Chains A and B, each alone.
Chain A
Amino acid sequence: MRRREPGRYEASLSLHTTTSRLAVYLLAFTAAVVIGFPFLWMIICSFKPPSELYNAPPLFWPVAATLQNYADLFIQTGFARYFVNSLIVAIASTALSLFFGSIGGYVLARFDFFGLALFAGLSLLCYMLPETLVVIPLYMLASLLGLQDTLVSLVGANTAFTLPFALWFMRGYFRTVPIAYEESAMLDGCNRFQTFWRISLPIALPGLVSVGVFAFNNAWNEYLFALVLISSERNKTLPLGLSTWIGQDSIYSWGMLLSGSVLLTLFSVALYAATQSKLAPGLADGGNKG
């Protein structure tokens, strides 16, 4: 089963020639620079004292680099608190989405009773209603259940928002798992859940990565649900907390905005990098059907 040589398994083009190697490096570098420029700018500007942010024409490098913006962020706002809240909501939403999305996607891929296909199609309706109109009935429901101003309501809302995507995506991946594997497992005595958990899920692992990133990112960046569902300072998530004193009327401090953004992004990127390396070996093994 393990045919892949370490290091080469993901190449679909041969990189034997130097020119193709060079081309890849060049393209990757250009892409990273162009796409990454705003971040570079953000990072550089976050170390500028507030007065330099108003320089016209703008200078690239800081004249008097400082950590004041980062200090202000923690001293003057509840950044640490927002961070923890966002983390709780994002991890909970992601875990729930991964679990229910994968098992639900499996059911949608394998079975066709109860009008499941109809539900699958209907679930996409979630994404077809304008968010500004959806959020008010959602808040009314939350307050009816006594859940206004709780992180639980936010976890529920975010999970609900991620699930249709998760269901559809995992359904697609589970369709590629050969039924023969599952049938042989069940003949060996596994029940349906065990078959799903031990045989099918590992093969569909790449789908879980996409779903996980989507779920985490959606919850991490989500603003509108948080705005309406959360009231007190101690429950605010990052986008909501930062936007409180960032507005069209007055941005209290560009420096604090930039430093907050940098920390936000670095964390997300670090998290993604960490999960990538952990899941990569699984991806190689799971996909080979030769």
Chain B
Amino acid sequence: MVHRGDRLFAAVALLPSVALVLMLIAVPAIAIFALSVQEVSLGRASGTFVGLANFRAVLASPDFYTALINTFIWVVGNVVFEMALGLGLALLLQQGFRFRSLARAVILAPYLLPTIVAVLVWRYMFDDIVGIVNRGLMVVGLIERPLQWLTSPRMAMFSVILVSTWKFAPFVVIALLGILQAIPLDQYDAAKLDGANAFGRFLHITLPHILPVFLLTALLRTIWSFHKFDIIYLLTGGGPIDATTTLPILVYFKAFHDFDVGGAAAVALIMLALILACLGVYFALLRRSERRL
């Protein structure tokens, strides 16, 4: 029901947000759109107009498709592990037990550490000569020879996903903890009286309640993983060779190593199209889940 003064209230309430957000989107978005149709090198504000040449060049280069596949693996790996681990930990940390606050603090800590620092610590741990991870695993007897965490093509992708999951699963935990705590208790009591077991209670009570937040979190994690640059760049630089080169890393290399800013902008816009497609799917699911509640 709309009351008197609601329109004014809405306008005033949203105005600062609209202003700030537009500033963050509009200016860069226009710049990127403009750059993508020009041939322009670093240090210049503009270049010659070349229409869709940049896009054609990007879509014709094998680098792009390698990066696309790597990005797919990276995003799926990240989101699946983070949501699964996040949900499990959230359910766990919702239980009342002693030291729960301590456990929560420890499990949350990776999210609170700046990425630069986190990556350097992990590099130190994965180091081929002084790394504690290999040393620890060998001492315990789980491996015989040191593993090449960051320099073997297959392991490298696994390692960066591992570090990223370690860093961002806590975010999922926080998001889900909030909604888990909002579920009314009496629904569980009623279900128990009806004879439902733990799994049944989870499926029919917990899951429907948390589904909107779960999906929203998964959507955001998808968007953020898709664009995550610093973790991979600082850990492996996109290597070995191009085993961990994802689309954001490709953008960086195009802009700052190839000095092809127009091409970088073109990749950025292709990325935008891809993620918007993803969004469509998520929104459909989100709307359905909200209706069920």
Decide whether A and B assemble into one complex: yes
Within the complex, which residue of B3, B14, B106, B181 is in contact with A10, where a contact is CB–CB below 8 Å? B181
Which range contains the number of B residues in contact with the other chain?
A: 35 or more
A127 CB–B CB distance under 8 Å: yes
Partner of A138, one of B27, B185, B201: B27
Q: What number of A residues sit within 8 Å (CB to CB) of B? A: 120
CB distance from A262 to the nearest CB of B (A): 10
> Number of contacts between A and B (CB, 8 Å)?
304
Cβ-defined partner of B188 (8 Å) among A12, A27, A156, A268: A12
| A111-B2, A269-B108 given; A38·B166 CB < 8 A | yes
Q: Of residues B6, B10, B205, B229, which shows the largest number of chain A Cβ atoms within 10 Å of its Cβ?
A: B10
Tell me the bound Cα distance from A39 to B275 in angstroms.
34
Instruction: Report whether A133 and B268 are in contact in the complex, using a CB–CB cutoff of 8 Å.
Output: yes
B73 at the interface (CB under 8 A from A): no
Indicate whether B279 reaches chain A with its CB closer than 8 angstroms. yes
Contact: B95 with A10, CB < 8 Å? yes
B13-30 near A? 1/0 per residue, CB < 8 Å: 110111011011101111
Compute how far the CA of A106 lies from the CA of B100 in the bound complex, rounded to whole angstroms.
Answer: 32
Known A-B contacts A58-B131, A130-B268; the reply to A172 vs B97 at CB < 8 A is no
CB-CB under 8 A from A129, the residues of chain B are 25, 28-29, 32, 227, 268, 272
Interchain nearest-CB distance for A230 vs B (Å): 15
Question: Which B residues touch A156, using CB under 8 A?
Answer: 20, 23
Q: Let me know if A163 and B121 touch, CB within 8 A.
A: no
* Bound-state Cα–Cα, A143 to B174, Å: 36
Q: B206: nearest residue on chain A (CB-CB)?
A: A12
Contact B21 A13 (CB under 8 A): no
Q: Which chain B residue shows the least CB distance to A57?
A: B135
**Chain B contact residues, majority secondary structure:** helix
Given the complex of chains A and B, what is the CA–CA distance between A131 and B115 in angstroms? 14
Whether A183 touches B166, Cβ cut-off 8 Å, given contacts A264-B113, A287-B181, is: no
Do A138 and B28 form a contact, CB below 8 Å, given A128-B223, A192-B3?
Answer: yes
B180 lies within 8 A of chain A by Cβ: yes
Q: Is B241 an interface residue (CB 8 A)?
A: no
For the complex, is B150 an interface residue (Cβ under 8 Å from A)? Answer: no
Residue among B109, B226, B276 having the largest count of chain A Cβ atoms under 10 Å: B109
Contact between A290 and B186, CB atoms less than 8 A apart: yes
Determine whether B213 belongs to the interface, using a CB cutoff of 8 Å to chain A. yes
B220 at the A interface (CB under 8 A) = yes
A-B contact pairs, 5 of them (CB 8 A): A24-B97, A100-B17, A133-B264, A137-B27, A220-B112
